[in-house]
């Protein structure tokens, strides 16, 4: 069965089954694929899945639902696009990869090795490289708080929080809030 893989860098870190005729992607808590990113519309896009007589996906079409920032496939802005194996969907800063298991065993081996490389990378992360304040900011990011909330809760200026976030990203070799949240979740079970 085809799936969407949530990417962290080039590594699939989570899979979403494409098991319904319509799958809503957006910031709305009722979305099938929930993306909590301010650049994502509440009802951002829909995946239309067509199944064959064996309940295998025959076609997948991404339709942008007039979102504010648009939907992209392979870095091209689209309104409606038929998807294929290995296509990358960009919704805000989130990247989702189309994975079709019918594409063959070689893909499965590569994916499995990617998971091993991701786990090795995450296991090498050393939070003790962060200052105490940076650890506190990292924890608040992992809990889903925005800069202003973190500044208020830790009694800091927003500018100081931004400086801490830059230092955290550099020390942990990450480049986005999404990666920070995923890393926090990985490290905290």
What average pLDDT score do residues 116-139 get? 70
pLDDT at 83 over 70: yes
Q: Residue 177: which pLDDT band, with cuts at 50, 70 and 90?
A: confident
Coil, strand or helix: which one is 97? Answer: strand
Higher pLDDT: 38 or 77? It is 77
Report how far apart, in Å, the C-alpha atoms of 189 and of each of 142, 151, 158, 183 are.
Answer: 12, 26, 29, 10
Secondary element (H or E) of residue 89: strand 88-91
What average pLDDT score do residues 11-35 get? 88
pTM > 0.85: no
Q: By the 8 A CB rule, do 2 and 101 touch?
A: yes
Residues 6+ apart with CB under 8 A from 153: 140, 145
pLDDT at 115 over 70: no
Looking at residue 125, its pLDDT comes to 61
């Amino acid at each position: 069965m085809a799936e969407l893989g949530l990417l962290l860098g080039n590594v699939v870190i989570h899979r979403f089954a494409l098991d319904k005729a319509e799958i809503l992607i957006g910031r709305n808590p009722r979305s099938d694929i929930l993306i909590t990113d301010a650049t994502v519309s509440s009802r951002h896009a829909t995946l239309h899945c067509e199944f064959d007589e064996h309940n295998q996906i025959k076609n997948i079409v991404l339709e942008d639902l007039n979102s504010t920032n648009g939907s992209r496939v392979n870095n091209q802005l689209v309104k409606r696009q038929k998807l294929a194996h290995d296509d990358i969907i960009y919704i805000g800063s989130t990247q989702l990869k189309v994975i079709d298991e019918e594409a063959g065993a070689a893909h499965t081996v590569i994916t499995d090795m990617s998971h091993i490389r991701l786990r090795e990378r995450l296991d090498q992360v050393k939070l003790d490289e962060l200052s105490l304040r940076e650890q506190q900011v990292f924890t608040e990011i992992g809990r889903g708080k925005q800069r202003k909330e973190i500044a208020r809760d830790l009694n800091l200026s927003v500018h100081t929080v931004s400086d801490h976030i830059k230092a955290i990203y550099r020390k942990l070799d990450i480049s986005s809030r999404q990666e920070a949240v995923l890393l926090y979740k990985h490290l905290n079970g």
